[in-house]
Amino acid sequence: MAPIKTAIVFASFIEREEYLPFCEKIIEIWRREFATSDIYVGINPCRFQEPWIAMLECSGLRIRYRVVTEPLVLPSDASAYQTALSLLHEDNAAYDFVWFGHTKGATSRQYEELAAHLVELFLKKELVMQTLRDTGCGLYALAASVAPKGREGCSRYMRFRYTALPIFCVFTFYVLRGEILHRFVQACDASFFTQRLPDAHFFEADFPQIAFRQGYEPHVKKIVQVHCGELAKLVSNEETYHKTLAAWRAKNGLKPPAGA
């Protein structure tokens, strides 16, 4: 049996020196669980990018990184994710599972919660992979919210068979089956890599749709209620989540995954 190939797509932005220890913790986690993985890091221009780059270069890990060019920069992790995916696309490599994570917690009031997400998702690598294999789901997310409607942002880059699923992946920490990501990066319009993304929340709200619109369901560990923006308009709990999934399946002629 061929060894499982895993990768990380990571977005980073470090504006305060006191959060460099958080970066060191990230490297430690990667050394422990992803020593043989390919790691792609996008870096939004920031005050402390040089110390972060030095950590990446001295890590001993298989890391490619790139600083986001000015025309692509957004005030969120979206542009750094976009640049990290450009590196993955350049390598033309295929993976079984790909982790998405970011350092937003190092510059936000939600630092502790986001740090916990990083530990939960990245330090339980085997459990995440086994869950995706057992359930047949295409995306593993730690937290998600039911949305008023499915986001269509990815439609500008690729044509899909299935409709959008109105689910929002809160905090942008998730894992994708590799074949889902590979199909997208190989078939999407080149503008995905060369033009500024349309929304600062693109990787929370739009990008997970590349799994759903290929007919894959998410496996979500926790359904949460978001109290801002359009997400506050709907009650988001286990009941509304499963009703939303059922309606989406019916609309697209899909059945639940065998292990879900």
Quick: pLDDT tens for 7-32. 999 999 998 888 888 899 899 999 99
- pLDDT: which is higher, 260 or 213: 213
Give yes or no for residue 128 having a pLDDT over 70.
yes
> Does residue 122 have a pLDDT over 80?
yes
Determine the pLDDT at residue 15: 87
Query: Who wins on pLDDT, 112 or 173?
Result: 173
DSSP character string of the chain: -PPPPEEEEEEE----GGGHHHHHHHHHHHHHH-TTSEEEEEE---TTHHHHHHHHHHS-SEEEEEEPPGGG--SSTHHHHHHHHHHHHHHT---SEEEEEE-GGGGSTTHHHHHHHHHHHHTTHHHHHHHHHHH--SEEEEEEEE-SS---GGGGT---SSPPP-EE-GGG-EEEEHHHHHHHHHHS-THHHHS--S-TTHHHHTTTHHHHTTTPPEEEEEE----SGGGGGS--SHHHHHHHHHHHHHHHT----TT-
pLDDT in tens, 33-71: 999 999 999 999 999 999 999 999 999 999 999 999 999
- For residue 258, what pLDDT is reported? 78
pLDDT band at 257 (very low <50, low <70, confident <90, very high): confident
* pLDDT greater than 60 at residue 253: yes
CATH of domain 6-252: 3.90.550
Domain ranges of the chain: 6-252
Which of 3-7, 147-151, 210-214 shows the lowest mean pLDDT across its residues? 147-151
Low-confidence winner among 17-26, 157-166, 235-244 (lowest mean pLDDT): 17-26
On average, the pLDDT of the chain sits at 93
Q: What is the mean pLDDT of residues 184-203?
A: 95
Q: Residue 110 pLDDT > 70, yes or no?
A: no
Q: What is the pLDDT of residue 260?
A: 64
Asked if residue 105 has pLDDT above 60, the reply is: no
Q: Is the pLDDT of residue 163 over 80?
A: yes
